[in-house]
Amino acid sequence: MLFAHDTEMGLASAAALVNTTGDGEERLPDPAALAAFLDDWQFTGSRAGDAAELAAVHELRSVLAAVWDADEDGVVTVVNRLLREGNALPQLVRHDDWGYHVHATESEAPVADRWGVEAAMALADVVRAGALDRLRRCAASGCDDVLVDLTKNASRRFCDSTCANREHVAAYRARRAADPPM
């Protein structure tokens, strides 16, 4: 494990949020889709379940998307902005089946603020570890999704197995075409 569990979850959920748009497809089109997404990521705390909350999460998504293309100073600027605007107040908590982990906002804070601060806390760990190279874009042609490489040897190149398989098959076919059987 490169980072604490809550850091890895914060990074993964930030990447998942960024990947909810792309290819002209909106994967969080309404409050119900957002609620399902939050449930999938086991987000706790208050939820408004309305259009304003959805708009705030869409705005957060745009802010986080910029992180994957930013240099270190750019990432730090985003992290500090999210911590400041989200009124970060880090504290250790334990609930449900989770051991102690950091919540950096009040549980009543708006979802976008909580999510932004959790992502910022995770990104702060990445910056402090000098591991920004772990934040990548998928190497598959035609895919612009982001990923967090949490492998021990920093070898992850694709956002998921579908992109990896598609690229491996294309490379195999290209090799076969270049070297026809006799």
Q: Which domains, from first to last, does the chain contain?
A: 5-132 (1.10.3300.10)
Q: How confident is the model at residue 182 (pLDDT cuts 50, 70, 90)?
A: low
Rounded CA gap, 7 and 56, in Å?
A: 22
Kindly report, residue by residue over 57-108, the tens digit of the pLDDT. Answer: 999 999 999 999 999 999 999 999 999 999 999 999 898 888 898 889 998 9
Mean pLDDT, the chain, whole residue set: 94
Q: Has residue 179 got a pLDDT over 90?
A: no
Q: At 147, which helix (H) or strand (E)?
A: strand 146-148
Q: Output phi, psi for 103, to 5 deg.
A: -110, 130
The pLDDT tens digits for 141-176 are: 999 999 999 999 999 999 998 999 998 998 888 888
pLDDT for res 1: 66
